[in-house]
Amino acid sequence: MKFHEKYDTVLTGLISGLLFPFLTGIIIFTFSSGHLSLHTYLERIVNSDIVTHSITLCVFPNLLIFMLYNRFDMLKATRGVLAMTIVWAVIVFGVKFLG
């Protein structure tokens, strides 16, 4: 069994589609926060009214994961990433229109 066949599951796609936006957010925080604490940084994002923009920016790497899984013909994992990206989109719309 090849590596990509072993990890070609919907659960793999769901987990990677959930974790990569958080990792992207941590990377963005690390390089753009200066000397601010995480709490202060998040308060600035909320006060600047750019919460939906920030979430969207963090979810963007899911496109790269989607393309990578698709390239290796891991269609079940691709489905999982797509499903998690749709969940993130629902969250963005909820924050934008209900918040």
* CA pair distance 99, 97, nearest whole angstrom: 6
CA dihedral (62, 65, 66, 67) positive or negative: positive
The predicted pLDDT at position 5 comes to 77
Structural domain for 51, as ranges = 3-98
* CA pair distance 62, 7, nearest whole angstrom: 17
The predicted pLDDT at position 56 comes to 94
| Torsion region of 49: left, alpha or beta (phi above 0 gives left; psi -120 to 50 gives alpha) | left
The predicted pLDDT at position 7 comes to 87
pTM of the model: 0.88
Q: What is the pLDDT along the chain (99 residues), one digit of tens a residue?
A: 777 778 899 999 999 999 999 999 999 999 998 889 999 999 999 999 999 999 999 999 999 999 999 999 999 999 999 999 999 999 999 999 987
Number of domains the chain contains: 1
